[in-house]
Structure 1
C-alpha cells in the first residue's frame, strides 16, 4: 500500500493485487427485479474479474427490510444465470466468506460497531424523528441542504448511560472528520471531496438494529476480501465517507471505480418503474442473453479500440468481451442505450447460434415449443409441420428476415407451419394445377433455382399468364397476397408439403 501526501490532503492510493487475489462483488438490494443498469454493473464486474482470473461474488444487501420484495433474490440469481454471468460465490453457491445475505451477518456488524464506539469513531444518537424533521424543514426554509447538526456527538458518557438505561430509542452515527480526503478513481482519476463540509454524521446502525448501506458494505467488502469495487456513479460522492470508515477501523480500502450513468435514448435516467428495462422483459420478448450483453456494452465503452468499433457489426462472446475489457477505456460520459440496435444484435446472435450444431438443436427445440404454445391458443388449423429438417430449413432461410424467433409466428410466416384457409379457384386454374401436380411429382430437385426455371417454362407450355398463375399458387400454398417467391415458398415447404397443399386446394374446389 502506497501512502502519499500532497498539499496537506490525505490521499489514498490504490492497492496492487496479483491476479489470483482479484475479488469483485455485485451487491444489489432485493427491492425489485434486475434491470439494465444493474445488469451493466454486474457485467462489468464479471468481465473485470474474468479478465484477471479473479472471483465474481453476488452479495445481497437487504438491510432495508421495509422495501424487500418476495422472490426478488431468487429472480436475481435466475436473471444473472440466464445472462451468462457466472456467480462464483453467493447465496445459492456458497463460499468461504459467507453468509452472502446481509441480514444473516448481523452478529458481525454488532461486533464491528463496538470497535468504532470504543475507539471514539462512532456514537449513540437519541434524536427523535420529530427533531430531525424540524431540522430538515428549517434547512429548506433557509434554502440550505438539509443535514444532521451532530448534536449527539457532544453527549457526555453520563448522558449516554442514562439514556440507555431509560431505554431511549437510538441509532449509531459515524463521526466524519473535517479533513479533505482524496482517492484515485479507476475510471475518473483523482477525486477530492470534503464530505464533512456537505453532510452531517451519517447513521451506520439504524434504530431497528440493522446497518445502513454505508456501514455494512465496507464491513462486508473488508471481510470478503474485495479487491475492487466497481459500482454506479451515484456512489462516487459517498466514497470519501467510506474511506474514512476504513481508516477508523485501521483497514486498507479496496480500489474504487465508478461506472458512468446508463441512460435511455432520450437522455432520461433508467428507472425501476420502467417495465421494459427489466431483464425478465427481454427474456420474455425473445432476446438472446448474449445479444443483451452486447447491447449494454455498446453503450458504455471499456474495450480495446478494435472491439469497440466492431461491436455493432457482430456479436462478441463473453470470453471475447472479457479478453478485450480494459477498465481504463471506460467512458466518463453517460452512455445512451440505442433500442434500434438491440434487434440487430439479436439477429447477429441468431446467426451465430445457427453455426453451432449444439446451439442449432437447442433453437429447434425452442421453435417447436413456441409453435406448440402459439397454436394451442390459436384458432388456426393446427396440422403443424414440425419435423426437424423443415424447422432447420426455415431457420436458415429466415435468419436475414427475422430478429427474434417469435417473428416466425407473424401472420406472413404462418403458412410455413399450417395449411392456409381454402380459396376459390376458377376452372382454368384447377386444370393448370392438375397438370402442375403431374410434373412436380416427377421433379427430383426441389431447389428454388430449378423450380423458378421450371415454373416459367410450365406457364409458357400451358399458355397461361405467368404472373396471374403465380398469384393463384401463392393463395393455394399460403393464403397470402405477398411474400417470398413461389419457387422459394415451394423449397421452404418441401416437395411433400407442396404437393399436399396443392391437392387439398383442388379437393376443396372439386367437392
Structure 2
C-alpha cells in the first residue's frame, strides 16, 4: 500500500457537538494484552461521551482470526471496569445496535459488500493466491511497490455472479483509483491524503471482512457520531472517507490522538513491558486514579489543567474539551507516574486500599503468615501515609523495601554477608539482655561490644526486616511492638546458630 499524507492546514477545526447524538466507541482487538494507548483511547472516548451526555460503546474487533487470544476480550472488559470506564452498550450487556462482536456480524458485512458491487464501487476478484504472489515478486524484482493489477475489474457483473454461484473462490475488492482525499480532524486540522492503493480487499474468501470494511459498516450501523482513536489510524482515514462516499454516507467526525512515546519521538515497542496496561496494574500496583491522571497529565483535553492536582474521573468529565487536545506526542515519565501514584495512595479510601493490598499480598506473597485483617492493614496504610512521604506503588509492599510488613527474615544470609556469626549472635544476645529499645541503651550495647553504633543499627534492621535500608529502628519498634521485635531477633539468632 502506498498512501501519502500531507497536512495542508494547521488551522484547528472547531466543531459544534450536538448533545443528543453523541455516540462513540472503543473497538479493541482481542489479540493479547491491552496496550497503554488502548486504555488512553478508551478513556478519551469515555470522557467525551460522558461530557456530552452521550453513549460509550465497546465493540470487539475479532476478524483477524489468526491472532486471537482466548480470554482476551474478557480481560479487556475487566480492565475497563477496573479503571471506572463503564460502557453503555457492549457484547456482554447488549444494546440496540448489536451484535457488538464482529465475528457475529458476518451477514451484515456480506450484505454491504453486495451493495457496493451493485453500485459498481466493488467487484469480485478470482485471482489465485499464487498469481498474487507472482505479482508481489515481480514488483520486488523491479524495485516497485506491489499493487494489484485490477485484472478482475474487467469481468462483467453477470459473469462474476455466475462464477461465485458455482462456488469459485473469490474476494471482493473496492474500486479505488489514485486520488487526493481531504477530510477534517479535530486535532490535526484540514488534511489531504494522496491515496495510491490499488483496489484493496474488503471481504475475504472465508467471508470475513478486512478491517476497513468492518470498521466503516460497524460505525455507520452503530450510529457512531465521533471516531476518537490513536494517530496510527490517521493514514487509513482517507480510505475510510472514500468508503463512506461509496455507500452514500456522511463521515463521522474524526479525532486522532497523538502517539504515546518513550522520549517524545520513538513509539513504544510491543517488546516493552511498560507499553501494556497490565504492567501498571499487576506488576507495579499503580492505583487506577493515578494511571488515569498520568494519561492526561499534559493537559490534553482538560480545561484549566493543573499538573499538581489529582483529578477524579468525574472532574475530568466535567472539564473535558476535545478541542484542547494537543498535537504533541505523549511521553512516558517515571517521575510523573510516581507523583500521581503517591497522590492517589493518599487520597484513596482506607477500605479501597485494604482490599487492594490484601488482594496483592495474597497473590504475590501466598506464604505470608501475617494477619491480613482490616485492622492490621489499616495500620500499614497509616504508617505509610505518616512516615513514608514518597510511597507510590503497591508493588513496593510485595517486592520492594516495604515487604517487611508481610514477611520475616527467612535466613541469616544477609546478616552473614556483613557480620560473622559469632559477632552477630553476641550483639543480638546483648540487645535482648538489655530489655530496652531506647537509644541510650542501644548505644551502650554498641560500646560494650566495641562496635560502631550505626553498625549495630544495621544488624538490628537486618534482623527485623532483612534489609539495611528502611524506616528508623524506633519507628519499626513502634509499629511492630517490642514483643514482635524481640521475637524476630530470637528467630534470627536461631538462623545464625544453625
TM range, smaller chain:
0.7 to 0.9
Aligned equivalents of 2:26, 2:310: Cα separation in 1 = 24
Aligned equivalents of 1:428, 1:166: Cα separation in 2 = 93
Matched ranges for 1:413-432 at <5 A:
413-417=402-406, 424-425=425-426, 429=430
Q: Which residue of 2 aligns with 1:491?
A: 478
Q: Assess if the C-alpha contact under 8 Å between 1:232 and 1:261 holds in 2.
A: yes
Which of 253, 277, 280 pairs up with 1:279? 277
- The alpha carbon displacement at 1:22 in A equals 0.7
Cα deviation digits, residues 115-171 of structure 1 (max 9, x gap): 222222211111222222222233333333222222222222454245335532111
Aligned equivalents of 2:495, 2:270: Cα separation in 1 = 55
User: For structure 2, which runs of at least 5 residues remain unmatched after alignment?
Assistant: 1-12, 413-423
Aligned equivalents of 1:499, 1:385: Cα separation in 2 = 21
Aligned equivalents of 1:154, 1:486: Cα separation in 2 = 85
2:315 counterpart of 1:326: no
Q: Which residue of 1 aligns with 2:212?
A: 214
Q: Which residue of 1 aligns with 2:347?
A: 352
Partner secondary structure for residue 294 of structure 1 = helix
State which drifts further: 183-192 or 264-273. Answer: 264-273
Q: Assess if the C-alpha contact under 8 Å between 2:384 and 2:391 holds in 1.
A: no
Q: Which residue of 2 aligns with 1:400?
A: 389
Aligned equivalents of 1:218, 1:58: Cα separation in 2 = 15
State which drifts further: 15-24 or 476-485. Answer: 476-485
Which of 220, 237, 240 pairs up with 1:239? 237
Aligned equivalents of 2:179, 2:323: Cα separation in 1 = 29
Matched ranges for 1:56-71 at <5 A:
56-71=56-71
Which of 367, 372, 385 pairs up with 2:357? 367
1:292 and 1:216, CA in 2 relative to 1: closer, same or farther beyond 3 A? same
Q: Which residue of 2 aligns with 1:170?
A: 170
1:481 and 1:168, CA in 2 relative to 1: closer, same or farther beyond 3 A? closer
- Point out the structure with max Rg over C-alpha: 1
- The alpha carbon displacement at 1:294 in A equals 2.3
- The alpha carbon displacement at 1:418 in A equals 5.7
Q: Which residue of 2 aligns with 1:288?
A: 287
Partner secondary structure for residue 396 of structure 2 = helix
1:410 and 1:335, CA in 2 relative to 1: closer, same or farther beyond 3 A? closer
- The alpha carbon displacement at 1:180 in A equals 3.5
- The alpha carbon displacement at 1:190 in A equals 0.7
Q: Assess if the C-alpha contact under 8 Å between 1:477 and 1:498 holds in 2.
A: no
Q: Assess if the C-alpha contact under 8 Å between 1:47 and 1:325 holds in 2.
A: yes
- The alpha carbon displacement at 1:292 in A equals 1.9
Q: Assess if the C-alpha contact under 8 Å between 2:380 and 2:405 holds in 1.
A: no
User: For structure 1, which runs of at least 5 residues remain unmatched after alignment?
Assistant: 1-12, 354-358, 438-453
Matched ranges for 1:252-271 at <5 A:
252-265=250-263, 267-271=265-269
Q: Give the TM-score taking structure 1 as reference length.
A: 0.79
Q: Assess if the C-alpha contact under 8 Å between 1:416 and 1:492 holds in 2.
A: no
State how many pairs are aligned. Answer: 465
- The alpha carbon displacement at 1:320 in A equals 2.3
